[in-house]
Amino acid sequence: MTDKFISIEAIAKRYPGAGGATTTVFENLWLSMKRGEFACVIGHSGCGKTTVLNILAGLDAPSEGAVIVDGQAISGTSLDRAVIFQSHALLPWRTVLGNVAYAVSSKWRSWDRAKVRAHAQTFIDLVGLSGSEHKRPSELSGGMKQRVGIARALSITPKMMLMDEPFSALDALTRGTLQDEVRRICLETGQTAFMITHDVDEAIYLADKIFLMTNGPGAVLAEVVENPLPRDRGRTDLHRHPLYYALRNHIIDFLVTRSKTFTTEKPDHDPRNVPVVHIGKPGLSIASNGEEPRQTWMPGTNPGLSA
Amino acid sequence: MNTSLRLRAGLVSIALLAAFLGIWHLATRSTAPVTTMSPEYAKLMGLTATQGKSAMPGPLDVGAKLWEHLKRPFYDNGPNDKGLGIQLGYSIARVGTGYLLAVLVAIPLGFLIGMSPLLSKALDPFIQVLKPISPLAWMPLALYTIKDSSISAIFVIFICSIWPMLLNTVFGVASVRKEWVNVARTLEVGTVRRAFTVILPAAAPTILTGMRISIGIAWLVIVAAEMLVGGTGIGYFVWNEWNNLSITNVIIAILLIGVVGMLLDQILARFTRMVTFPE
Ligand SMILES: Nc1ncnc2c1ncn2[C@@H]1O[C@H](COP(=O)(O)OP(=O)(O)OP(=O)(O)O)[C@@H](O)[C@H]1O
Ligand SMILES: [Mg+2]
């Protein structure tokens, strides 16, 4: 019980549908994370990932259930949980420094201007934007805007970071650099991180745990996949790890076929005890149960790299 | 390219102005007496018919008179003979007072309505009914209750300039991008600070657009209001000169009303540009 830093307990989200009916995005969803863990959520569009993240952030309230962070049920947003928005959400009338300083002065209200600026500057330097502090968001590239969003989230030294597809709008090169940065920062500062992504390789590189969600409406958390790769993995030699392809196949199989059929195939699925998948450990794993691999794996030639 | 376009546009403007003045001059210059006119009609028409002089002043007459006015804009020879500067000053002061009062009411009220769905729904029927009323229709009521013609004119300005500002403020505040509000929420920014640091800057361009529409309407209405209440102001001047049959002065007043209206609009346009942010 004590190792659960975050515990999502039986949450549901319903919207009023047409003709008095209600649409249930998901219900009875349980999910937990340990302190310092990096979790990624993968699932098809519309299954409710953003909804879960918004509930976790406190921006949205669940229709049922509760979210417990650090032993306390949350009610609303908190400076302990920083959000990196998919659309970066920078305030366009403020400069880079102004955007970060806004967050800093919101957390430490008594600080004077100079102290706020100095603190903001260190985080701007951290994400490699020194020299662009006085630019407005409209003068920045997509990757630079996303960095400002990261600097803003980190500057308030949160206990956890919530990221909604933070890199999906970026080119592969920028995405790679920012993934490295986020991973380094999260490891260094012991952040607990919760990230939504559509990119399987991103999840494999960053996550300790990967949550797989089935298609909505009525989405369920189908499996928790433990990442078997060592913690000190490098982005460029991920694919050399012996378990990399088993892990990747497992996730892609899920996205391609099982995400649609899961609920009908597993009517006895217990949302409170979601199966934990350990790739490469027979008996516990689902992917490596002796079946013949259906494809031959060649690094870099696999279509459907992102779902 | 850009400068040459400007230069060419400027040249065309000057040419158009010259053409206009030329046609005006030709159309109003003295012609030979018309002999085929019945004597009664000639008597009625006065100078126009008997001396072939057009009642419509030409550009030279207007120019000469304008120069006279510009030389002495602030003289005061009693209630019916004041310099144009003084008359314009009265009008601008009334517009300014009514408009500022409207700003003080419309923007805070618009903020409240925009931020509160309850108030928005509750006040909507009142706004819908009050908005289409011609500001001049309020005049008798204002004169009766306030009993002061000058303050009544200010009230009319207030009531006519409040609606565009109020509606634009409500709209601007209610349609602030949700993600910006969410940023403030995740940073635990309180309502008041959020209003000033997120909602106000985000809605400012829309609010300023409303203010710009309002100043235009206020300047339109002041002329009509002053014609009704009389006493002072550029509207009263126009009406008074019409009663004196001085078309020259009426034309000059029209010209100055246009120029002042343009200046007021430009000032607001500049403020709008100051608060507009590129996305
Ligand atoms: N205000 C709303 N009213 C009704 N339904 C809504 C509302 N907001 C979201 N939904 C529904 O909730 C579901 C989940 O939405 P959500 O944004 O969480 O999806 P997502 O998993 O983040 O998708 P994506 O990967 O495309 O971002 C969707 O099917 C959507 O139609
Ligand atoms: Mg989403």
In tens, the pLDDT along A202-236 reads: 999 999 999 999 987 888 999 999 998 888 888 88
SS3 assignment, position A194: strand
Within chain B, which residues score under 70 in pLDDT?
1, 30-39, 41-54
In a domain? residue B181: yes
∠A12-A18-A22 over CA atoms, to 5°?
A: 20
The domains of chain A are located at 1-80+158-273, 90-157
A contacts of B197 (beta carbons < 8 Å):
102
Instruction: Please identify which residue in the block is written with the tokens 């019916």.
Output: B80
Q: What is the pLDDT of residue A143?
A: 87
CA dihedral A69, A75, A80, A86 (to 10 degrees): 100
A contacts of B277 (beta carbons < 8 Å):
92-93, 136, 138
Range in A6-10, A141-145, A295-299, B33-37 with the lowest mean pLDDT: A295-299
Residue B88: closest CA among B267, B269, B217, B259: B259
B contacts of A58 (beta carbons < 8 Å):
185-186
Tell me whether the omega of the peptide bond preceding residue A217 falls within 30 degrees of 0, making it cis.
yes
Q: What is the pLDDT of residue B48?
A: 54
Range A106-116 average pLDDT:
95
Q: What is the pLDDT of residue A273?
A: 84
How far apart, in whole angstroms, are the C-alpha atoms of residue A233 and residue A179?
13
User: By residue range, what is the domain housing residue B187?
Assistant: 84-275
Give yes or no for a contact between A49 and A43, defined as CB atoms under 8 angstroms apart: yes
pLDDT mean across residues, chain A: 86
| pLDDT of A293 over the 50 cut | no
Q: Tell me which fold the domain A1-80+158-273 belongs to.
A: Rossmann fold (3.40.50)
A216 alpha carbon, closest ligand:
1
Instruction: Please identify which residue in the block is written with the tokens 């969003």.
Output: A149
Q: Does B180 touch chain A (CB under 8 A)?
A: yes
pLDDT, tens only, B145-180: 988 888 999 999 999 999 999 999 999 999 999 999
pLDDT, tens only, A48-71: 999 999 999 999 999 999 999 988
In a domain? residue B193: yes
Q: Whose CA is nearest to atom 3 of ligand 1?
A: A15
∠A42-A47-A49 over CA atoms, to 5°?
A: 55
CA dihedral A292, A293, A296, A297 (to 10 degrees): -140
| pLDDT of A18 over the 90 cut | no
Residues 59-118 of A with CB under 8 A from B: 59, 76-79, 81-83, 85, 87, 89, 91-93, 102-103, 106-107
Q: Does A56 touch chain B (CB under 8 A)?
A: no
Q: What is the pLDDT of residue B41?
A: 66
CA dist B168 → B107, B110, B134, B179, B206 (Å): 9, 8, 19, 21, 6
Q: What is the pLDDT of residue A304?
A: 42
Q: What is the pLDDT of residue A278?
A: 86
ipTM at complex level: 0.82
Range A92-113 average pLDDT:
95
Residue A227: closest CA among A256, A254, A250, A252: A250
CA dist B84 → B70, B229, B236, B245, B261 (Å): 8, 18, 11, 17, 15
Helix or strand holding residue A224 (H, E): strand A221-226
Question: Which atom of ligand 1 has the smallest separation from the CA of A44?
Answer: 25
| pLDDT of A294 over the 70 cut | no
Residue B233 contacts by C-beta under 8 Å, 6 or more apart in sequence?
B87, B90, B91, B94, B153, B222, B226
Residue A59: closest CA among B187, B111, B202: B187
Distance (angstroms) between ligand 2 centre and the Cα of A209 equals: 19
Q: Does B183 touch chain A (CB under 8 A)?
A: yes
- What are the φ and ψ backbone dihedral angles of A222, each rounded to 5 degrees? -85, -45
Its pTM stands at 0.82
In a domain? residue B37: no
| pLDDT of A291 over the 50 cut | no
Q: Which CATH number characterizes residue B132's domain? A: 1.10.3720.10
Count of domains forming chain B: 1
